Chains A and B, each alone.
Chain A
Amino acid sequence: MRTTSRPLLAAVLSLALVALTACGGTGDTAGATASSGPPVKGGTLVVGENGDEPACLDPHQLSATNTTVVTRPIFDSLLWQDASGKLHPWLASSWAVSEDGLTYTFELREGVKFHDGAPWNADGLKANLEHMRDPATKSPLAASYIAPYEDSEVVDENTLKVRLSSPYSAFLNVLAQSYLAMVSPKQIKEAPASVCEKPIGSGPFVFGAWAKGQSITYRRNPGYAWGPPGAAHTGPAYLDGLEIRFLGEDSTRYNALLSGEVNVIDNTPPSNVEEVKANPDLGFSTVDRPGHPFSIWRNTSRAPFADPKVRTAFTFAVDRAAIVNSVSFGQWKPATGFVTPSTPDYADGLSEKIAYDPAEANRLLDEAGWTAKDADGIRTKDGKRLTAVALDTGAVPQNTQILVQAQAAAAKAGIEIKIENVTAQVSADRTAAGDFDISVGIWTTNTADVLWIQYSSHNITTTERRGQNTTRLQDADLDEFLDQARAATDETARAELYTKAQARLIELAPAIPLYNRPSLVSFQKKVRGLGWDHAYGAVGFYDTWIG
């Protein structure tokens, strides 16, 4: 029955495979042409972004972290924030704030046109503010950023008077963010449901097509003449087109850059940054995002972290720099306070007070009455162990690593941390309900008002509303600083109040600030003129050209 063997078949199979592969080959390997002449017009830039693809492209309906990268090419904002945190005119040519901080009068730039031909005017700004607030828009973020917005009055074609229900000095800051960018008022009025799918703005690029789950393409807006004041040039963008691909796998994204499938990648895997820097064909650029640094939040409304001494002891027990360096391969900077240095009104010189000091940690715990230790080396008081429950979703490996390392550090000081693995939904619900001791998180925004969002007692979750004060901190002094800062119409006074708030938070220690989250952007050397939107710390393409 047995006949001759057929090694031939194996050969045929492998031949077929070779034939298949032979028609592959994408070419275009990163040939870095180091010419430094004047900008060249034309070409399409392909950008690799991570997998956090927005579900919709209406900035007012978004809270995704990639909103700025993805929507800024299409949309302009009222104001532009520079690297130092200063606000400049953009679609608003000037503004005035009333003495009581309740009325903002915007003079609007003339000659601006949306991609559908709609003119930019006071009516348009009003339509945008109303669109953000309208519950039907279902805004997850913009609506709460302009929560004090009461109503507005069209004074003339280019002047809008906006009234707030309570003073809110961060109003101008948040208006510079892409989440509050200006959508075509014609589209808002005539087809609000279409903004998600076919967004129309006034930006340097016109929306092209969106292959969901894959990529978004854009083409140049030839009539663009109102670039942001921080830009290196005026007039239309240099690039003919732009394509942003969502490449969820870190290694895929990095290798797509190496192979030349994409020209630029955002969210460079931290483990590859040194390789990028060592690669003569690639360039690297980074900025830290503004807002609240990534932190370990602690529930201050129940034992054991209701006691500030225990909280501070935990902070001292943790070697923050070592943890951050190990999980980020040295690419993230340890946080220096409760807002990041790239945030307006950041207070310098507080970082020594959140130093690594195990001896001080032990001293504080003794002082707090946790003097005895049980067989496991865990401190006890009145027969109770010093135990805290940490929630981890496991969705971000670095977060898990951080928690595990913090757990080890805490154990050395006699604090037991139990890490519970839960789904993101359960984590969100339990955090809101205060049913946890430790969780982790970050809040990116371009104003120190993030401290109100995270720590004001007015923003604790109640039965009526879910707030963002995760730690459930209640402190009268802090509340006063934050409320006064909101009411301040003078910049110096506001900065002073936020400095006080930041110092107070070091004393209250509701969280362990861990690191400032950076945008890590790598690119082929032939790609020139990548810019930044400093209101979020996101890469931008208005000045970009391919050499």
Chain B
Amino acid sequence: MHGALRLVGWRLLTGLGVLWGAATLAFLVLHLTPGDQAQAIVGGENAAPTPEVIAQVTREYRLDEPWYVQYLLHLGRVVRGDLGTSYRLHTPVTQAIGEQAGATLELAAAAAVVALALSVVVALASAKRRRWVRGLASGSELVIASIPSFWLGILLLTVFSFGLRLFPATGSHGFQSLVLPALALALPIAGVLGHVLREALEEVLEEPFVISARTRGQGDMAVRLRHALRHALVPLITMTGYWVGALLGGAVITETLFTRQGIGRLLLGAVNAKDLPVVLGVVLLSAGIYVLVNLLVDLLYLVIDPRLRDAPAPAARTAVEGSA
């Protein structure tokens, strides 16, 4: 148990470093991309801000300070737990994110469930099966993982919404409007995960303990579910970072395509308008999610593999990764 505590402490500490790094990078990227900041906030194609308005924006947001002063101001604010007020929306960043977070969470959770369920079911059904079954499964996984999610979304819309009129094409009102966006987001991820899981399953199914389970008279499905799956899940858990990232990144496109509310679209608008407080807020949120997810993954390893429970903290992960 001591090892686990040290692991958590260590991960939280490095997590802070990750958050700081993410905030710094976001600031620098936004600051170094060309374009006048005040003009980005109140200017634009149809705008004609007066010099007084530009001066007000510059003064109010302290855009006339050197970059390092602005950087420290933002950092100081964030450290005090204040995410600030959006330049563009004129509302507190926490409110702006709060309004959009629910929709993204709903979409990401639905997509995660669909992706995991699909990949597990397909991998269980197709690992070590006849050649054509495997070929069909891995072929469709390859196709689905390679399709740009934008195109996949349009395909789903064309068939199920515009064509068959089974689902609405827009909005985030309830279950029906969640189906297509969740599928568009989940399918490419399911393709990759399914592929990885089948490979792992096939490896495990060759192991001596599987053969011994079979000789004890267990049925095929029971062997697969009770013995093989648990081992095969390790690489899937290692890939958690990948699919959480894919969910967050894919959400931007999916939300735009299906006209859903969400963090992705909020970020897109904020980056275009150089709305630093919102960009920092969303970046910190995503980085925080990554840190938490990775921490959970590390703890999950301990649950799955009892050998790691007393190992020294930093070595724990490498040991698991090595064995996986």
Contact = CB atoms under 8 A, between A and B. Distances in A.
A243 to B, nearest CB: 10
B26 to A, nearest CB: 17
Nearest to A443: B46
Given A143-B50, A144-B49, A249 B42 contact: no
A9 B88 contact: no
Contacts of B121: 9, 13
B166 interface: yes
Contact of A144 (B48, B57, B129, B170): B48
Interface in A142-185: 143-145, 147
A4 B172 CA distance: 43
A33 interface: no
Contacts of A56: 89-90
B261 A211 contact: yes
Contact of A140 (B36, B43, B89, B168): B43
Interface stretch (B68-76, B233-241, B265-273, B283-291): B265-273
A141 to B, nearest CB: 6
B35 A423 contact: yes
A171 B311 CA distance: 77
B294 interface: no
Contacts of A465: 50-51, 54
Interface stretch (B156-164, B192-200, B242-250, B298-306): B156-164
A67 to B, nearest CB: 9
B257 A135 contact: no
Contact of B269 (A55, A136, A143, A252): A55
A255 B157 contact: yes
A466 B169 CA distance: 42
B129 A6 contact: yes
A129 to B, nearest CB: 14
Contact of B261 (A61, A141, A214, A248): A214
Contact of B162 (A25, A135, A255, A423): A255
Given A135-B55, A256-B169, A259-B169, A213 B39 contact: no
Contacts of B274: 425
A462 B311 CA distance: 67
Contacts of A55: 88-90, 269, 273
A246 B8 CA distance: 44
A287 B117 CA distance: 52
Given A213-B266, A249-B259, A466-B39, A141 B48 contact: yes
A473 interface: no
Given A135-B56, A140-B47, A252-B259, A24 B33 contact: no
A214 B258 CA distance: 10
A30 to B, nearest CB: 12
Contacts of B176: 23-24, 26
A256 B170 contact: yes
Contacts of A271: none
A446 to B, nearest CB: 14
A428 B259 contact: no
Contacts of A245: 170-171, 259
Contact of B179 (A20, A140, A213): A20
A21 interface: yes
Contacts of A141: 46-49
Nearest to B176: A24
Nearest to B167: A24
Interface residues on A, range: 35 or more
B34 interface: yes
A251 interface: yes
Interface in A353-387: none
B87 to A, nearest CB: 9
A499 interface: no
Nearest to B172: A214
A24 B34 contact: no
A252 B160 CA distance: 12
B133 interface: yes
Given A255-B162, A258-B162, A424-B45, A143 B265 contact: no
Nearest to B263: A213
Nearest to B48: A144
A190 interface: no
A21 B51 contact: no
A255 B258 CA distance: 12
A117 to B, nearest CB: 25
Given A196-B89, A429-B35, A24 B259 contact: no
A261 B46 contact: no
Contact of B100 (A212, A215, A443): A212
A193 B92 CA distance: 11
A63 B44 CA distance: 8
B92 to A, nearest CB: 11
Which of A13, A20, A246 lies at the interface centre, i.e. has the most chain B CB atoms within 10 A of its CB? Answer: A20
Interface string B216-242: 000010000000000000000000000
Contacts of A487: none
Interface of A: 1-3, 5-6, 9, 13, 20-21, 23-26, 29, 48, 51, 55-56, 61, 63-65, 135-136, 138-141, 143-145, 147, 193, 196-197, 211-215, 245-249, 251-252, 255-256, 258-259, 261, 423-426, 428-429, 432, 441, 443-444, 453, 464-466, 468
Given A24-B160, A24-B176, A429-B36, 4 more contacts: A13-B121, A144-B48, A214-B260, A429-B35
7 contacts: A1-B205, A23-B176, A24-B167, A55-B88, A144-B48, A251-B154, A465-B51
